[in-house]
Amino acid sequence: MSSRRQAYFKPSAQPEVVPSGAPTELVHAFHCKLPGYAPTRLVSLDGLAKEFCVDAVYLKEESNRIGVPSFKILGASWGTFRAVARKLKLPLDCELAEVKEATKLNPTTLYAATAGNHGRAVARVGSLLGLRVEIFVPTGMHPDTMRFITDEGAHLTIVSGNYDDTVRTACEESQKSGAILIQDMAWEGYEEIPNWIVEGYSTMLREVDAQLPAQHTPTHILTPVGVGSLAQAVVAHYASPTHPSRPTIIAVEPDMAACLHNALTTGTSTTIETQPTILAGLNCGTVSLTAWPLLRAAVSVAVTVSDHEAHTACTYLSSQNVDAGPCGGATVAALRRLVLSSADRHAAGLDGHSVLVLLCTEGARAYYYAAEA
């Protein structure tokens, strides 16, 4: 198809900067206070490792994270907590009950735009903290996804447009109402909360480090992109000079919404037009402002996948008792695409000694898919 792109490779990618933020211990301690927190599982896909002739393939399954089927609540909870604590002048080690009590005296509303998982996560956090939540979604969202958001107690507004249009609308409306915008995408003048959200994702990566067998140091990390906030967290974690491993970072996007691939190829981050895709959470046309410099410096490989490849990956993962939606299956699809090309396999440095970690970022969900002829 015309939207098919060759994989992007950057030799010897090294980070030029390493972002500073809250110590990951502080973030992790906060998450441990959330009802239902527990590390998600790291699954060894031995059959895939054998098929692809690599040492090991591990998949971080985020199908049930603190009661919602996505990793997003890690960032949404920390970003919201930081923003609300600052507004109410609360210490970062305060208890959730203190925050909830303080919001009774100082009513606060959260606004967010979403392609699905982020909005549901913000809605859940709002429910935990007793906050009113307004979620903005683009046209074409699956009815089940919208229902899951409203079931969390949020009010939902459908915006006539794509994801970028929805973000702009949420921003404008939050400014009119004085609400706190909780968005995982940064732009000029709106950078602090997105960076807090990125910090929140560090808990997942800390878990991966703790769960990997001692004999398996990761050589490659495959991460979905979207606006790039999770990938930014991956770079901050694994490209840090203090991390014992400096794995190759592989970014994964839909064929129909490859804003990072386009930016890396052209050397400039610009907004692109996207097309409908079952990888709804990755259907983003603009790379986050704070993510772009880090991804440009540290992403070694960028791969795009089709709806068919993502759907096939979900079917495979289901056979392995892994509950994955298309965004979650994208990293499996990307790995398969790389290994099927001997040139790409070599360029990505994949061999019999490779230890790969795939981030499976969402659980199974309803989506519209027409099998390709």
Please indicate, yes or no, whether residues 112 and 83 belong to a single structural domain of this protein. yes
Q: Which pLDDT does position 95 carry in this prediction?
A: 94
Confirm whether 283 is domain-assigned: yes
Please indicate, yes or no, whether residues 147 and 167 belong to a single structural domain of this protein. yes
Residue 373: pLDDT band with limits 50, 70, 90? very low
Mean of all residue pLDDT scores within the chain: 94
- Is pLDDT of 235 > 80? yes
Q: Is the dihedral of CA 62, 79, 117, 287 positive or negative?
A: negative
- Is pLDDT of 16 > 60? no
Q: Which pLDDT does position 80 carry in this prediction?
A: 98
Q: Give me the domain span that covers residue 325.
A: 8-70+202-360
- Is pLDDT of 270 > 70? yes
Q: Which pLDDT does position 21 carry in this prediction?
A: 58
Alpha helices in 42-162 (DSSP H): 46-52, 72-88, 96-105, 117-129, 143-151
Residue 13: pLDDT band with limits 50, 70, 90? low
The strand order across the sheet containing 180-181 reads 155-159, 132-138, 109-113, 180-181
Confirm whether 366 is domain-assigned: no
Please indicate, yes or no, whether residues 48 and 192 belong to a single structural domain of this protein. no
Last residue of a domain, one of 197, 219, 241: 197
pLDDT tens figures, 159-185: 999 999 999 999 999 999 999 999 999
Mean pLDDT computed over 273-284: 95
Gap between the Cα atoms of 82 and 90, Å rounded = 9
Q: Which positions ≥6 away from 86 have C-beta within 8 Å?
A: none
Q: Which pLDDT does position 4 carry in this prediction?
A: 79
CATH number of the structural domain spanning residue 163: 3.40.50.1100
Confirm whether 2 is domain-assigned: no
Please indicate, yes or no, whether residues 321 and 219 belong to a single structural domain of this protein. yes
Please indicate, yes or no, whether residues 175 and 225 belong to a single structural domain of this protein. no
Q: Which positions ≥6 away from 265 have C-beta within 8 Å?
A: 5, 8
% the chain with pLDDT above 90: 90
Amino acid at position 83, single letter = A
Q: Which stretch of 10-14, 197-201, 209-213 has the lowest confidence by average pLDDT?
A: 10-14
Residue 2: pLDDT band with limits 50, 70, 90? very low
pLDDT tens figures, 83-97: 999 999 999 999 999
Confirm whether 373 is domain-assigned: no
Please indicate, yes or no, whether residues 53 and 79 belong to a single structural domain of this protein. no
- Is pLDDT of 1 > 50? no
Residue 264: pLDDT band with limits 50, 70, 90? very high
Q: Which pLDDT does position 19 carry in this prediction?
A: 55
Confirm whether 369 is domain-assigned: no
Please indicate, yes or no, whether residues 334 and 258 belong to a single structural domain of this protein. yes
Gap between the Cα atoms of 231 and 303, Å rounded = 13
Q: Which pLDDT does position 17 carry in this prediction?
A: 46
Residue 101: pLDDT band with limits 50, 70, 90? very high
Gap between the Cα atoms of 326 and 331, Å rounded = 9
Helix axes 117-129, 143-151, angle to 10 degrees: 10
Please indicate, yes or no, whether residues 19 and 65 belong to a single structural domain of this protein. yes
Confirm whether 288 is domain-assigned: yes
Residue 243: pLDDT band with limits 50, 70, 90? confident
- Is pLDDT of 372 > 70? no
Please indicate, yes or no, whether residues 293 and 331 belong to a single structural domain of this protein. yes
Please indicate, yes or no, whether residues 14 and 120 belong to a single structural domain of this protein. no
pLDDT tens figures, 114-132: 988 999 999 999 999 999 9
- Is pLDDT of 370 > 80? no
Confirm whether 302 is domain-assigned: yes
Residue 14: pLDDT band with limits 50, 70, 90? low
CA atoms within 13 A of residue 340's CA, in its CB half-sphere:
10
Mean pLDDT computed over 214-240: 96
pLDDT tens figures, 330-368: 999 999 999 999 999 999 999 999 999 999 999 999 888
Q: Against a cut of 0.75, is the pTM above it?
A: yes
% the chain with pLDDT above 70: 95
Domain count along the chain: 2
Mean pLDDT computed over 18-45: 89
Residue 245: pLDDT band with limits 50, 70, 90? confident
Please indicate, yes or no, whether residues 65 and 76 belong to a single structural domain of this protein. no
Largest CA distance in the chain: 62
